[in-house]
Amino acid sequence: MHACLLLGGRCVVALVFAVSALAKLRAPGDFASALRAMAVVPRRLNRPVVIAVPLVEAAVALLVWLPGPVATWAFAAAGGLLALFAAVLVSVLWRRIDVSCPCFGAAGVPVGRAHVVRNLLLAGVAAAGLVASTAPDPGGLEPAAVTLVLLVAVGASALAIATDTLVELFSPAR
Protein backbone atom coordinates (compact mmCIF):
# COMPACT_ATOMS: atom_id res chain seq x y z
CA MET A 1 0.00 0.00 0.00
CA HIS A 2 2.71 2.48 0.89
CA ALA A 3 4.39 1.86 -2.49
CA CYS A 4 1.21 3.16 -4.15
CA LEU A 5 1.15 6.17 -1.81
CA LEU A 6 4.80 6.89 -2.54
CA LEU A 7 4.38 6.71 -6.31
CA GLY A 8 1.14 8.70 -6.24
CA GLY A 9 2.61 11.31 -3.88
CA ARG A 10 5.71 11.68 -6.03
CA CYS A 11 3.62 12.13 -9.15
CA VAL A 12 1.18 14.66 -7.67
CA VAL A 13 3.85 16.72 -5.90
CA ALA A 14 6.15 16.67 -8.93
CA LEU A 15 3.45 17.66 -11.42
CA VAL A 16 1.88 20.38 -9.28
CA PHE A 17 5.20 21.91 -8.26
CA ALA A 18 6.68 21.68 -11.78
CA VAL A 19 3.67 23.39 -13.37
CA SER A 20 3.63 26.03 -10.65
CA ALA A 21 7.36 26.71 -11.03
CA LEU A 22 7.14 26.87 -14.82
CA ALA A 23 4.21 29.31 -14.70
CA LYS A 24 6.08 31.62 -12.32
CA LEU A 25 9.30 31.43 -14.34
CA ARG A 26 7.44 32.20 -17.57
CA ALA A 27 5.70 35.27 -16.12
CA PRO A 28 7.71 36.58 -13.17
CA GLY A 29 6.07 40.00 -13.50
CA ASP A 30 2.62 38.55 -12.87
CA PHE A 31 3.92 36.67 -9.83
CA ALA A 32 5.65 39.84 -8.55
CA SER A 33 2.47 41.91 -9.00
CA ALA A 34 0.35 39.39 -7.13
CA LEU A 35 2.94 39.14 -4.37
CA ARG A 36 2.95 42.94 -3.98
CA ALA A 37 -0.85 43.03 -3.89
CA MET A 38 -0.92 40.30 -1.25
CA ALA A 39 1.43 42.35 0.94
CA VAL A 40 2.88 39.29 2.66
CA VAL A 41 6.58 40.09 2.31
CA PRO A 42 8.36 43.42 2.69
CA ARG A 43 8.75 45.18 -0.66
CA ARG A 44 12.55 44.87 -0.54
CA LEU A 45 12.17 41.06 -0.42
CA ASN A 46 9.70 40.86 -3.31
CA ARG A 47 12.35 40.24 -5.99
CA PRO A 48 14.27 37.57 -4.04
CA VAL A 49 10.98 35.77 -3.29
CA VAL A 50 9.92 35.95 -6.95
CA ILE A 51 13.22 34.28 -7.86
CA ALA A 52 13.42 31.80 -4.98
CA VAL A 53 9.88 30.37 -4.92
CA PRO A 54 9.86 28.85 -8.43
CA LEU A 55 13.41 27.56 -8.00
CA VAL A 56 12.48 25.83 -4.74
CA GLU A 57 9.30 24.46 -6.34
CA ALA A 58 11.32 23.07 -9.26
CA ALA A 59 13.84 21.51 -6.87
CA VAL A 60 11.07 19.84 -4.86
CA ALA A 61 9.49 18.51 -8.09
CA LEU A 62 12.77 16.80 -8.93
CA LEU A 63 13.91 15.73 -5.47
CA VAL A 64 10.78 13.73 -4.58
CA TRP A 65 11.89 11.19 -7.19
CA LEU A 66 15.24 10.50 -5.52
CA PRO A 67 15.53 7.55 -3.16
CA GLY A 68 15.87 7.51 0.60
CA PRO A 69 16.10 10.52 2.84
CA VAL A 70 16.26 12.98 -0.06
CA ALA A 71 12.67 12.19 -1.02
CA THR A 72 11.62 12.35 2.63
CA TRP A 73 13.09 15.83 2.97
CA ALA A 74 11.54 16.87 -0.36
CA PHE A 75 8.09 15.74 0.80
CA ALA A 76 8.62 17.61 4.07
CA ALA A 77 9.60 20.74 2.13
CA ALA A 78 6.56 20.35 -0.14
CA GLY A 79 4.23 20.03 2.85
CA GLY A 80 5.82 23.02 4.54
CA LEU A 81 5.55 25.15 1.39
CA LEU A 82 1.94 24.16 0.83
CA ALA A 83 1.05 24.97 4.44
CA LEU A 84 2.82 28.32 4.07
CA PHE A 85 0.99 29.03 0.80
CA ALA A 86 -2.32 28.16 2.50
CA ALA A 87 -1.50 30.53 5.36
CA VAL A 88 -0.73 33.31 2.88
CA LEU A 89 -4.06 32.72 1.15
CA VAL A 90 -5.93 32.73 4.48
CA SER A 91 -4.21 36.03 5.29
CA VAL A 92 -5.30 37.46 1.94
CA LEU A 93 -8.88 36.33 2.54
CA TRP A 94 -8.92 37.61 6.10
CA ARG A 95 -7.65 41.04 4.99
CA ARG A 96 -10.17 41.04 2.08
CA ILE A 97 -7.51 41.70 -0.55
CA ASP A 98 -8.93 41.25 -4.04
CA VAL A 99 -6.12 39.50 -5.89
CA SER A 100 -5.91 36.40 -8.02
CA CYS A 101 -3.82 33.44 -6.93
CA PRO A 102 -0.47 33.41 -8.74
CA CYS A 103 -0.06 29.68 -8.05
CA PHE A 104 -0.17 28.56 -11.68
CA GLY A 105 0.31 31.84 -13.53
CA ALA A 106 -1.98 34.78 -14.09
CA ALA A 107 -5.63 34.08 -13.36
CA GLY A 108 -8.83 36.06 -13.29
CA VAL A 109 -10.27 34.34 -10.24
CA PRO A 110 -9.77 36.09 -6.89
CA VAL A 111 -8.26 34.11 -4.04
CA GLY A 112 -10.99 32.10 -2.34
CA ARG A 113 -11.60 29.22 0.00
CA ALA A 114 -11.13 26.74 -2.85
CA HIS A 115 -7.48 27.82 -3.13
CA VAL A 116 -6.91 27.24 0.59
CA VAL A 117 -8.62 23.85 0.46
CA ARG A 118 -6.56 22.87 -2.59
CA ASN A 119 -3.30 23.70 -0.82
CA LEU A 120 -4.33 21.86 2.35
CA LEU A 121 -5.31 18.76 0.35
CA LEU A 122 -1.98 18.91 -1.48
CA ALA A 123 -0.20 19.26 1.88
CA GLY A 124 -2.00 16.06 2.89
CA VAL A 125 -0.67 14.34 -0.24
CA ALA A 126 2.83 15.54 0.66
CA ALA A 127 2.38 14.21 4.21
CA ALA A 128 1.27 10.82 2.87
CA GLY A 129 4.30 10.78 0.57
CA LEU A 130 6.55 11.66 3.50
CA VAL A 131 5.21 8.79 5.59
CA ALA A 132 5.43 6.37 2.66
CA SER A 133 9.01 7.47 1.91
CA THR A 134 10.12 6.40 5.39
CA ALA A 135 8.63 2.89 5.20
CA PRO A 136 10.75 -0.11 4.24
CA ASP A 137 10.86 -0.83 0.51
CA PRO A 138 8.19 -3.43 -0.26
CA GLY A 139 9.50 -4.14 -3.73
CA GLY A 140 7.98 -3.31 -7.08
CA LEU A 141 4.38 -2.70 -8.02
CA GLU A 142 2.40 -4.69 -10.54
CA PRO A 143 2.01 -2.87 -13.89
CA ALA A 144 -1.75 -2.57 -13.38
CA ALA A 145 -1.22 -0.91 -9.98
CA VAL A 146 1.34 1.50 -11.45
CA THR A 147 -1.07 2.41 -14.25
CA LEU A 148 -3.96 2.99 -11.85
CA VAL A 149 -1.86 5.05 -9.42
CA LEU A 150 -0.47 7.21 -12.22
CA LEU A 151 -3.92 7.80 -13.73
CA VAL A 152 -5.36 8.85 -10.36
CA ALA A 153 -2.32 11.03 -9.59
CA VAL A 154 -2.39 12.78 -12.96
CA GLY A 155 -6.14 13.35 -12.62
CA ALA A 156 -5.76 14.74 -9.10
CA SER A 157 -2.90 16.98 -10.25
CA ALA A 158 -4.97 18.28 -13.16
CA LEU A 159 -7.85 19.13 -10.81
CA ALA A 160 -5.48 20.95 -8.44
CA ILE A 161 -3.89 22.90 -11.27
CA ALA A 162 -7.32 23.75 -12.72
CA THR A 163 -8.72 25.19 -9.47
CA ASP A 164 -9.28 28.63 -11.01
CA THR A 165 -11.11 27.18 -14.00
CA LEU A 166 -13.26 24.99 -11.75
CA VAL A 167 -14.10 27.94 -9.48
CA GLU A 168 -15.15 30.00 -12.49
CA LEU A 169 -17.18 27.13 -13.93
CA PHE A 170 -19.13 26.43 -10.73
CA SER A 171 -19.49 29.99 -9.40
CA PRO A 172 -22.80 31.79 -9.78
CA ALA A 173 -22.88 34.36 -12.58
CA ARG A 174 -21.88 37.85 -11.52
The stretch 10-14 carries a mean pLDDT of: 98
pLDDT digit string (tens) for 147-160? 999 999 999 999 99
Cβ neighbours of residue 7 under 8 Å, at least 6 residues apart? 141, 146, 149, 150, 153
> 76-80, 140-144, 154-158, 169-173: lowest mean pLDDT where?
169-173
Cβ-in-10-Å burial (0-12, 13-18, 19+) of 73 comes to: middle
Encode 87-104: b = buried (16+ Cβ within 10 Å), e = exposed. Answer: ebbbebeeeeeebbbbbb
pLDDT at 40: 92
For residues 132 and 6, give the distance between their C-alpha atoms in angstroms, rounded to a whole number: 5
pLDDT at 152: 95
DSSP 173: P
Number of neighbours of residue 138 by Cβ within 10 angstroms: 12
pLDDT digit string (tens) for 53-86? 999 999 999 999 999 899 999 999 999 999 999 9
| Residue ranges covered by each domain of the chain | 2-170
